[in-house]
Amino acid sequence: VRQDDFFEINSLAYPVFIGSKLWIRLREFVQPYLKPGGIFIFADQNTLKFCLPLLVENIPELGDHLSYAVMPGEESKDISGLEEVWNWLMKSGATRESLLVNLGGGVVSDLGGFAAATFHRGMPYINIPTSLIGQVDAAIGGKTGINVAGVKNQAGIFYDPLAVFIFPGFLATLPENHFMSGFAEIIKSALLAGKNSLHMLKANLNPGDESIFGHILETVKFKCDIVAKDPHDRSVRKILNFGHTIGHAFESLFNQNDMPGMLHGEAVAAGMICEALISSEINGLSKWEQNEIASLITKYFEIKPLEKKYFDNLMELLAHDKKRNSDRFKFTLLESPGKPCIDCSVGSESIIRALRSYNQIIEE
């Protein structure tokens, strides 16, 4: 699939446009708002610098409209970041008839989306995602929100954009580590979607080259299909948590003081290896498939071992996770690629065994 093709996905309540020829559609979309006080462009300082010029180059009319940028990074996705956006909108005279344009990664779409949902009790917004996580995941599905007291996504609301515009050209300036975070989501989606997508990924792929576009498209279509079936995350949408239960615990643990740090993508990659191991112990995933999954992931990610002395810390972090139910844990597991199961009950002993095997896989 070539990125200069152009696709419109219509499985959700709003259209998702993807490809390098989407500017015509974007122009049509913003046209009714092209008046003073009509359009407000929200970004972070990186996307303001790297992505706004590209946007204005393609739609010069947007150059006349106000923009505002928060500091890049997760720290901005909190109550003071939200207040910043509200203040800016209020002082600049935005109304319920204005359009908020979120130009950035997941932080911008989560925070900007929440600001749009709450400003004057709801103003329209569109997402123009610029990071790979934004393009394949965060910009789609209407989940908006902020972190509270350092805990992720504690306050938020489902509030749909009017449309999503995915222009792969923005990825040219995205730093490699952030690219790989999105790539972990592409692998996850392929594991959930099944054989065909997985087969495509196994072919020798250089994540940075143009062939990534086909994978972005597949991942976007898959996410749209799942969200369409369960917009409020009560049932089937939970399959998208695969790899994330243990992944989030790895991410928190490795980013504590005196630990070596771990990027989100690496954590999700490690989480998928562990959850595939649990799947093969209790959910019928064949040993052969589990091995295939581990080798696919280790081909793209440098996986860090988890020293035994940290197993208890990891279990504590999992216990704090909201998916916990009594003394057992709820996971999304695989029966095989393409056959995920939600709400699987997992005992702590299975998790510990998976962590041991995970370390062995890395040593091999």
CB-based contacts of 30, cutoff 8 Å, min separation 6: 39, 59, 61, 62, 99, 101, 126
* Residue 77 touches ligand NAD, criterion: CB under 6 A: yes
Tallying the residues shown for the chain, one arrives at 364
**In whole angstroms, what is the distance from residue 119 CA to residue 276 CA?**
42
- As measured in angstroms, the least distance from the Cβ of 138 to ligand NAD is 4
Applying CB under 6 A, does 219 fall inside the site for ligand NAD? no
Among 38, 105, 168, 337, binds ligand NAD (CB under 6 A): 105
Residue 122 binding ligand NAD, by CB under 6 A: no
- Please answer whether residues 146 and 79 qualify as being in contact, where contact means their C-beta atoms are separated by less than 8 angstroms: yes
The DSSP string of 163-194 is: EEEE-GGGGGGS-HHHHHHHHHHHHHHHHHH-
DSSP string, 18-42: EETTTHHHHHHHHGGG-STTSEEEE
Site string for ligand NAD, 158-177 (x = CB under 6 A): ------------x--xx---
Of 12, 71, 26, the closest CA to residue 232 belongs to: 12
Nearer to ligand NAD, 168 or 340 (CB): 168
Closest listed residue to residue 192, CA positions, set 234, 238, 233: 238
In angstroms, the Cα distances linking 187 to 298, 302, 345 are 11, 15, 24
Window 278 to 307, contacts with ligand NAD (CB under 6 A): none
CB of 132 to ligand NAD, least distance (A): 7
Q: Does 110 bind ligand NAD (CB under 6 A)?
A: yes
Residues 330-349 that bind ligand NAD (CB under 6 A): none
Residue 160 beta carbon to ligand NAD: minimum distance, rounded to whole angstroms? 12
The answer to whether the beta carbons of residues 178 and 72 sit under 8 Å apart is no
Beta bridge pairs of residue 101: 41, 126
Total residues contacting ligand NAD (rule CB under 6 A)? 30
Cα–Cα distance measured from residue 347 to residue 93, given in angstroms and rounded to the nearest whole number: 54
Nearest CA to 62 out of 98, 31, 108 is that of: 31
For 296, phi and psi rounded to 5 degrees?
-60, -45
* Binder of ligand NAD out of 38, 81, 104, 247 (CB under 6 A): 104
Rounded to a whole number of angstroms, the minimum distance from the CB of residue 171 to ligand NAD is 6
Q: In the complex with ligand NAD, which residue's Cβ is closer, 47 or 219?
A: 47
Residue 272 CB, nearest approach to ligand NAD (Å): 15
Looking at the Cβ atoms of 233 and 335, the one nearer to ligand NAD is 233
Least distance CB 101 / ligand NAD (angstroms): 15
Which residue stretches of 203-285 are H helix? 212-229, 244-254, 264-282
Residue 138 binds ligand NAD (CB under 6 A): yes
Least distance in angstroms from the C-beta of 178 to ligand NAD: 4
Binder to ligand NAD among 108, 123, 201, 226 (CB under 6 A)? Answer: 108
CB under 6 A: which stretch of 15-23, 55-63, 72-80, 317-325 binds ligand NAD?
A: 72-80
Residues that bind ligand NAD (CB under 6 A): 44, 46-47, 50-51, 72-74, 77, 104-108, 110, 130-131, 133-134, 137-138, 141, 143, 152-153, 170, 173-174, 178, 181
